[in-house]
Amino acid sequence: MRPAIVVKGLGKRFNRYSADRPFTIMEAALWGWWRMKPQAHFWALRDVSFTVSPGEMLGIIGKNGAGKSTLLQLVGGIGCAEEGTIEVNGRIGGLLDLGAGFHSDLTGRENVFVGAVVAGLTHREAGRRFDDIVEFAELEKFIDSPMRTYSTGMQMRLAFSVAVHTDPEVLLVDEHLSVGDVAFQTKCLNKINDFKSQGCAIVLISHMAEQIQKMCDRALWLRSGTIMAYGQTEAVISQYLGEMGSETEILNPLIVPQVTTVGTQQVSQNRFGYLGIKITEVKVLPDGEIESGNPVTIEIDYAVEKSISGVIFGVTISRKDGQVCFDIKTNKIGQLLPLAPGSGKIRLYLDRLDLGNGQYYVNVGVYEKTLAYIYDYRHHVTPLYVRSPLRQNTILCPPYRWELDGQIESAQLPNQVDKTHPINKNNPNYATILTQVKQQSRPNFLLVGSQQCGIEGLYRYLENSLQIIQAGARKVHFFDLNYDRGVEWYSQQLTLGVAGDTVLRWEMTPEYMDHPLVAQRVYKCFPDVKLIMMLRNPVQRAWMHYNLEVAMGCEEFDVTKAIASECDRLAGEIEKMRSTPNYHSFNHQHYSYLSRGIYVEQIKNWLDYFPREQLLILKTEDFQANSDRVLSEVGNFLDFSASAGEEFEINSVENDSKMPEAMEQKLIAYFEPYNRQLSDLLKEDFSWS
């Protein structure tokens, strides 16, 4: 995705003039023209670089005179820089100076049209949006009064309303998200969040560190025109507040990056502080992946150079977006810890951690006893994955239960079933179909994968070809994550469809394909079930997988580093999946770019339990080229006549940017021997050449 704003090496210089500079031509002629020349130069900005992607919000913070407004004005096209480049892709909406361009003798109505036209709308577009602008500003009663009769707050509200109704793709906001009363501020913040969700890139200047920490995806700290810190919001704000709270300057020492158990530490992005005390290691015990509600121990190893009379240790647990979910410091329980030279450990015991399902980070810091500055702080270095049965957008997952005091129609509610369709009673096979529905609970076939290979498209084709009488869960995850719930629970999740006089039950979970235990579990429960697999060119599958993880925000590396890091990321994960019931591996799910494309090893695992005739192995490329023929092949495999129906779009690599040629050639060479082994195993060409 092309960035909305790209700033590289930006520099802006201003002139300083003498106090006795001539102010008129006559004074200059009498005193000398040389007095008109600047006496000195100063750089308001120097070597500033950053990017903002669509849908991202960047917060800029710093003292007065740091260059924040100058930077925003240059991005907005006001003024010219002496150094560097600025690239803005999209329509700019600016809140650089609320009320700028308003004329005091014009009415509010007239100023709305002037401001909207200046912002890029036509007069007709401004007219269509006029009522919305006035309603948002809450100035219906005063819109035809002269602007000079407006209070400062009223002018700010009207200007904000005009700016946010011009459909900007890039929004620049300078210190003006606190206009009006609390209710209006809330409305402004909600509007900003709406812009973010619609893909608008936003740059916000604010002195309110809490506001930037809450709203922004990344932060940039300016001091005297230069970047002091740029990156994750929480880390940048912590550095900024540390400096503001003390005359002691927080340093970013040059330390050689260290390889730890969680990867290479990025100094000045993931670590900062004076380093009078060094955090040498952080461990999450018993493991970096836990069930929600389980106990957790956080163990911190540290090293002290010389005696310190008192320090404060702090631990926060935050999400990837910077949202702090837990925060505690030792001073909250009245303990200042004097430390002697040498090394030591400190442990934080959490009797239970009730967090929602997802990826978190354990951030650890050591502070001076008055919190004036930071000795060492590690941000987003130690990952923690929490597994929870409540897979919704929530931070907390405490023990819970529902209790209904009232009447319900059915004593047993359906479990994860979306909808049902009545069986046609006029069907001559109605009795046969009804008998099968009541007596049959086992699946006829499973769509087992692979991921990013179009198996979801085949699922939609089958839904369209059969008469669905019960739509089950799209991804049940019974054999990998819910196996302990039992077969009876599983049978309630299956999709039921009718083909002629035959009832078919099935489900689709693409993650089954490469899970080390699923083939054995399926065979143990349903040895006669038929299995359908769809395989895509593994090179293109890996590229699609990478782009998906980037879009989801789970992958921060470029493709070369992501591929190179796969071995380290997946180390030990297969063993955990084999040994721990219902274990969910975050790394295996998101970072198995290469291993998931080694189809021959996965299919060998399935063939250890099932005969070849129970497996139908399709190619994504064939499905894309002729879906009707592939659907007919599926019908023959399942012994029913499949009719062509509505066409569905299959994910295609053409929807992603082009893979770097050098990487493509490396992947082709990597997968070539595995593809050859697959062709020999199945007696069919899977070379994808």
The 10s digit of each residue's pLDDT in 66-102 is: 888 888 888 888 888 888 999 988 878 766 555 556 7
Residues 213 and 338 in one domain: no
| H helix or E strand, kind and range, residue 664 | helix 661-682
At 330, which CATH number? 2.70.50.60
Q: What confidence tier does 631 reach under pLDDT thresholds 50, 70, 90? A: confident
- Decide: helix, strand or coil at residue 42: strand
Domain that holds residue 174: 5-229
Query: Residues near 263 by Cβ (< 8 Å), separated by ≥ 6?
Result: 565, 568
| Domain-terminating residue out of 180, 204, 229 | 229
State the average pLDDT over residues 363-373. 83
Question: Quick check: is 687 in a domain?
Answer: no
Q: What confidence category does residue 609 fall into, taking pLDDT thresholds of 50, 70 and 90?
A: very high
Evaluate whether residue 349 is within a structural domain: yes
Both 147 and 277 in one domain: the answer is: no
pLDDT of residue 282: 92
Q: Identify whether residues 212 and 293 lie together within a single domain.
A: no
User: What's the rounded mean pLDDT across residues 535-562?
Assistant: 87
Over residues 271-320, the pLDDT tens digits come to 776 667 889 999 998 888 888 888 999 999 999 988 888 898 999 998 87
Last residue of a domain, one of 387, 411, 444: 387
Token reading at 67: 């260059």
Say how far apart CA 535 and CA 189 lie, in whole Å: 46
Domain final residue, candidates 176, 206, 229: 229
Check: CB of residue 548 under 8 Å from CB of residue 456: no
More confident residue, 285 or 404: 285
Of 200, 497, 218, 235, nearest to 363 by C-alpha is 235
| 337-339/358-368 β-pairing | unpaired
How far is Cα 604 from Cα 620, in angstroms, rounded to an integer? 20
Closest of 530, 442, 450 to residue 493, by C-alpha: 442
Residues 280, 224 within the same domain? no
State whether 380 and 424 are in the same domain: no
CA atoms within 13 A on the CB side of 30: 7
Return d(Cα 596, Cα 511) in angstroms, integer: 10
Whether residue 476 is found in the same domain as residue 597 = yes
The encoded tokens of residue 160 equal 């904000």
Counting every residue, how long is the chain? 689
Query: Is residue 12 within 8 Å of residue 44, measured between CB atoms?
Result: yes
- Distance from C-alpha of 678 to C-alpha of 689, rounded to nearest angstrom: 14
In whole angstroms, what is the distance from residue 60 CA to residue 236 CA? Answer: 10
What is the β-pairing status of strands 374-387 and 289-291?
Answer: parallel
Answer yes or no: is 396 within a domain. Answer: no
378/444 same-domain check: no
Residue 172 has pLDDT above 90, yes or no: no
Q: What pLDDT is recorded for position 180?
A: 57
Nearest residue to 569 (alpha-carbon basis) of 543, 552, 588: 588
> Which of 402-411, 473-482, 531-540 has the largest mean confidence?
531-540
Nearest C-alpha neighbor of 376 from the set 384, 387, 368:
368
235 closest CA partner among 260, 217, 248: 217
Does residue 476 lie within any of the structural domains? yes
Of 5, 57, 95, which is closest to residue 194 (Cα–Cα)? 57
- Residue bearing the bigger pLDDT, 199 or 302: 302
Given a cut of 80, whether residue 262 has pLDDT beyond it is: no
Where is pLDDT greater, at 233 or 300? 300
CA-to-CA distance for 505 and 520, rounded, in angstroms? 20
Tell me the HSE value of 307 on the side-chain side, using a 13 A CA sphere. Answer: 2
| Cα distance between residue 222 and residue 584, in whole Å | 42
More confidently predicted of 32 and 413: 32
Residue 657 is predicted with a pLDDT of: 66
Kindly report, residue by residue over 323-357, the tens digit of the pLDDT: 788 988 888 777 778 899 999 999 999 999 988 87
The lowest-confidence range among 244-258, 470-484, 664-678 is: 244-258
pLDDT score recorded for residue 259:
36
CA distance 608 to 603: 9
Place 25 in a pLDDT band, splitting at 50, 70 and 90. Answer: confident
Closest CA relative to residue 377, chosen from 272, 450, 517: 272
The CATH number of residue 670's host domain is 3.40.50.300
Q: Transcribe 483-529 into DSSP letters.
A: GGG-HHHHHTT-EEEEETTEEEEEEE-GGGTT-TTHHHHHHHH-TT-
Report whether pLDDT(528) > 80.
yes
Mean pLDDT score across all residues of the chain = 80
Look at strands 259-260 and 226-232 and give their pairing: unpaired
Rounded distance between C-alpha atoms, residue 389 and residue 387, angstroms: 7
Express as a percent the part of the chain with pLDDT over 70. 81
* Under 8 Å between Cβ of 599 and 680: no
Asked if 48 contacts 208 with a C-beta cutoff of 8 angstroms, the reply is no
* pLDDT for 261: 34
182 shares its domain with 277: no
- Pair of tokens at residue 308: 């310190």
User: For residue 138, is pLDDT > 90?
Assistant: no
The answer to whether the beta carbons of residues 572 and 585 sit under 8 Å apart is no
Query: Where does residue 459 rank: exposed (0-12), middle (13-18), buried (19+ CB within 10 A)?
Result: buried
pLDDT tens-digit series, residues 450-491: 888 888 888 888 877 777 777 777 788 899 888 888 888 888
Radius of gyration, alpha carbons of the chain: 31
Q: What is the pLDDT of residue 421?
A: 58
- Identity of the amino acid at 405: D
pLDDT of residue 250: 36
Distance CA 77, CA 119 (A): 13
Provide the pLDDT for residue 246. Answer: 41
Q: Which helix (H) or strand (E) holds 357?
A: none
Is residue 165 located within the same domain as residue 282?
no
Q: Looking at 91-100, 110-119, 245-254, which range is the least confident one?
A: 245-254
pTM equals: 0.45
Q: Is 677 helix (H, G, I), strand (E, B) or coil?
A: helix
Q: What is the mean pLDDT of residues 190-206?
A: 84
pLDDT for 183 beyond 80: no
Residues 564 and 440 in one domain: yes
Residue found under tokens 């529902």: 402
Tell me the average pLDDT across 25-30.
70
Residue 610 CB: number of other CB atoms within 10 A?
Answer: 17
β-bridge pairing 615-619 and 530-535: parallel
| The amino acid at 533 | M
Kindly state whether residues 326 and 434 are assigned to the same domain: no
What is each CA distance from 488 to 71, 388, 443, 447, 485, in whole angstroms?
63, 22, 12, 20, 8
Q: What is the pLDDT of residue 607?
A: 94
Does the CA dihedral 179-183-184-189 come out positive or negative?
Answer: positive
Same-domain pairing of 457 and 336: no
Number of domains in the chain: 3
Lowest mean pLDDT among 215-224, 238-247, 398-407: 238-247
Q: Rounded to 5 degrees, what angle do the CA atoms 278, 279, 281 make?
A: 140
d(CA 344, CA 519): 47
Does 524 or 102 have the greater pLDDT score? 524
Average pLDDT over residues 188-192: 80
